[in-house]
């Protein structure tokens, strides 16, 4: 069997992000880590993925994660409240829950 041909335009569209995009994707972050550290892209992808897995695991465990120079990710409890269903204006009860909160470091705020 032969591999299915991928059109060059479609392949290029996946790799190129729009220049006015304000978001850095994980692949771009991996490329930046590889460039700054001299690691291969595979090694830097593994390092970035491992770091993100550790952060997510700590947050799921209810711990705060402090990233010096960037900020702190923490779990915050939300209170039960009454909301309004859009479209029908019906009142609904929203149960208590948890959310992830981010507090930017003062050094980051000062550099913006």
| CA dihedral (107, 104, 109, 30) positive or negative | positive
pLDDT digits (tens, 9 = 90+) for 64-107: 999 999 999 999 999 999 999 998 999 999 999 999 999 999 99
Rounded to whole angstroms, the Cα distance separating 46 from 40 reads 10
Amino acid 27: pLDDT: 94
Domains present along the chain, CATH in parentheses: 26-110 (4.10.520.10)
User: Residue 107: CB partners within 8 Å, gap ≥ 6?
Assistant: 69
The Cα 41–Cα 48 span in angstroms is 10
Decide: pTM greater than 0.75.
no
- Note the pLDDT of residue 1: 54
The single residue listed with the structure tokens 């010096």 is: 68
Instruction: Identify which has the larger pLDDT, 19 or 85.
Output: 85
């Amino acid at each position: 069997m032969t591999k299915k041909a991928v059109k060059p335009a479609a392949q290029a569209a996946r790799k190129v992000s729009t220049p006015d995009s304000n978001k850095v994707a994980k692949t771009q972050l991996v490329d930046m880590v590889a460039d700054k550290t001299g690691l291969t892209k595979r090694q830097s992808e593994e390092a970035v993925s491992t770091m993100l897995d550790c952060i997510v695991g700590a947050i799921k465990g209810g711990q705060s994660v402090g990233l010096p120079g960037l900020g702190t990710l923490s779990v915050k409890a939300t209170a039960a409240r009454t909301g309004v269903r859009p479209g029908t204006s019906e009142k609904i009860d929203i149960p208590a829950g948890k959310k992830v909160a981010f507090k930017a470091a003062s050094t980051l705020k000062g550099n913006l």
